[in-house]
A = this chain, B = another copy of it.
């Protein structure tokens, strides 16, 4: 039996449960040594279910545990700066769920601490571990579609978010909350940085978001370094299902990533031909979350660099901030941004 990586999990909310359950049941190369969550009942219940001896409502107890080599930081975004810096100082390898932060200042503070201590840091962009995106990346690298010319991506959520969640002070606003995945994919699949963005947006389907000043739809033009083009669309009103599609057009072909049907069943009747639709995030990317966790654990065990490092996390954030600013100011915004923002 090989040595298992001793890990800690900080944050057991909706996403924290996803990571922690994968670690507890399906990531056989890791072993959860300690968990922390601000809500005592939640952390105690989880520890009991999986027989984890050490639990706490204070993340510092996890970081203080010398046995632990790596931590999963899945706490609220607003806590990431403090937790990640403390984890770096404790010498832990760090997996941090997206968004790593909502400002470049926070991100830079975290990256400085990480660099200083030389710890491994991986940011959570799970789409890079989805079978479709992985295969697309391989085919692009193999030259199957020639030189990529245009990046198109659509991210549509099947419901209006809770107002409290959607508050831009919490979520960063529609674009940072949703399109940051597409911006990361754009950089990764196109192999180029973004030079300029232009956003049109509006509040068209979820009037309740007006109270917190967010929008629910946006289209974002992108110009990449080297001249390639892009457009990202995000929406909250795909009430028909979770509609995630990406397309890369090149000088010799095109790749389309995504799918619609969840259940392998087609109904043919007098109303026509119909099937169901992927309902939401976990049905679409559940396996990608698992693959991402497995990947991180392997990298730590094998002392390899992260799949998605701090530079990548910062770059996607920067595009998101620029696209948000473009909407606010109704003009194209050039990158890089002045990092004092």
List the interface of chain A (C-beta within 8 A of B).
Answer: 1, 25-26, 28, 48-49, 51, 130-132, 135-136, 139, 144-145, 147, 149-150, 152, 154, 156, 196, 198-205, 217-223, 227-231, 233, 235, 237-241, 243, 249-277, 330-332
Contact A272 B268 (CB under 8 A): no
Interface centre among A139, A144, A265 (most CB of B within 10 A): A265
Contacting residue for A219 out of B229, B238, B271, CB 8 A:
B229
Contacting residue for A331 out of B264, B269, B332, CB 8 A:
B332
Q: Which residues of B contact A332 (CB under 8 A)?
A: 198, 330-332
Contacting residue for A261 out of B25, B154, B270, B273, CB 8 A:
B273
Q: Which residues of B contact A51 (CB under 8 A)?
A: 1
A263 and B135 in contact, given A272-B276, A276-B273, A332-B331 (Cβ under 8 angstroms): yes
Contact B231 A221 (CB under 8 A): yes
What residue in chain B is nearest A26 (Cβ atoms)?
B25
Provide a sorted-by-A list of 17 A–B residue pairs whose CB atoms are within 8 angstroms: A130-B264, A131-B264, A132-B263, A139-B265, A139-B267, A149-B202, A149-B204, A149-B235, A150-B233, A152-B154, A198-B198, A200-B229, A237-B250, A239-B251, A240-B253, A260-B268, A272-B276
Contact A266 B256 (CB under 8 A): yes
Of all A-B residue pairs in the complex, the 6 with the closest CB atoms, nearest first, are A253-B269, A132-B264, A274-B274, A240-B268, A149-B204, A254-B268
Known: A202-B223, A204-B251, A240-B270. 20 other contacts (CB 8 A): A25-B25, A145-B267, A145-B269, A147-B204, A150-B233, A156-B249, A198-B198, A199-B221, A200-B221, A201-B229, A202-B227, A204-B228, A235-B249, A238-B249, A241-B273, A243-B268, A253-B269, A254-B268, A254-B269, A273-B274
- In the bound complex, CA of A250 to CA of B237 (Å): 7
- In the bound complex, CA of A235 to CA of B146 (Å): 15
Contact A251 B205 (CB under 8 A): yes
- In the bound complex, CA of A228 to CA of B252 (Å): 34
Contacting residue for A251 out of B228, B237, B249, B275, CB 8 A:
B237
